[in-house]
Amino acid sequence: MVRDFDIHPDNPQARTIQQVVNLVRDGGLIAYPTDSSYALGCQLGNAEGLARMKGIRHLDDKHHFTLVCHDFAQLSQFVQVSNAAFRLMKASTPGAYTFILPATKDVPRRLMHPKKKTVGVRIPDNEVVQALVGELGEPLISTTLLLPGDEQPLSSGWEVIERLGDQVDGVVDAGDCGTEPTTVIDLSGSSPVILRRGSGETDRFE
């Protein structure tokens, strides 16, 4: 049975955050709110959780999963960031952006783009997510909770439970969030490439 975690959006309760993190460490798949929309998430080494995310969203092996990080110190362990890319990212984070960058050896191969060896990373501007990844001590593997056939991602905990039920192990409910996914910027080449225009402004990447 799916567990429903009721969390305050601005002052997340430490005990509840710990319960969610324990579920993630036990191999659980969670749905949680971000600064853009709901997302699915699991622990970095959770191959079964990754497969479940692919099944829920009908994704293939070319999909860029995202490592949701607490800060740049955590992010820099998993992607190679040039000075130019760092300046652009620093001016845009935390925020509703996903950046595509070359992965380091610490990223499981199953998370990388099969040809480009890149992975998505982001640092959300959301107190609940910051508390979760801070307590976990490593990034969450994540993807936007956009179900097949839907035009917008899910944006509330009750909606996630109603639509997914036991397909996830836990739902973090901190009230409604947005329905527009992140802006995706590819910084793996010599100049930025906007792959998806979402809730983050794109002017500095044009």
> E strands along 61-169, which residues?
66-68, 97-102, 118-122, 140-144
> How much helix, strand and coil, in percent to the nearest 5, is found in the chain?
30, 25, 45
Return the pLDDT at 85.
Answer: 93
**Which pair of tokens denotes residue 148?**
């097949």
Mean per-residue pLDDT, 162-166: 94
Return the pLDDT at 110.
Answer: 85
Q: What are the distances in angstroms from CA 39 to CA 63, 143, 154, 160?
A: 15, 6, 8, 10
pTM: 0.92
Does residue 61 carry a pLDDT above 90? no
Percent of the chain with pLDDT over 90: 82
- Which letter does DSSP use for residue 145 in this model? -
Rounded to whole angstroms, the Cα distance separating 78 from 44 reads 11
Return the pLDDT at 115.
Answer: 85
**Which pair of tokens denotes residue 36?**
């853009």
> Other CB atoms closer than 10 Å to residue 137's CB: what's the count?
10
Strand 183-186 vs strand 97-102: parallel, antiparallel, or unpaired?
parallel
Return the pLDDT at 111.
Answer: 86
* Three-state DSSP state, 164: helix
Mean per-residue pLDDT, 13-35: 97
> Other CB atoms closer than 10 Å to residue 73's CB: what's the count?
8
Q: What is the pLDDT of residues 169-196, one digit of tens each?
A: 999 999 888 788 899 999 999 899 999 9
Q: Are 33 and 126 in contact (CB under 8 A)?
A: yes
Return the pLDDT at 124.
Answer: 94
Mean per-residue pLDDT, 134-142: 96
Does residue 128 carry a pLDDT above 90? yes
Q: What is the pLDDT of residues 63-121, one digit of tens each?
A: 888 999 999 999 999 999 999 999 999 999 999 999 999 999 999 888 888 888 999 99
Upper half-sphere CA count for residue 49 (Cβ side, 13 Å): 25
- Please report which confidence band the pLDDT of residue 10 belongs to, taking 50, 70 and 90 as the band edges: very high
Q: What are the distances in angstroms from CA 82 to CA 28, 104, 164, 189?
A: 34, 13, 39, 10
**Which pair of tokens denotes residue 93?**
């984070």
Tell me the domain boundaries of the chain: 3-205
**Which pair of tokens denotes residue 81?**
């960031």
Find out whether the peptide bond into 148 is cis, omega within 30 degrees of 0: no
Instruction: Enter the CATH code of domain 3-205.
Output: 3.90.870.10
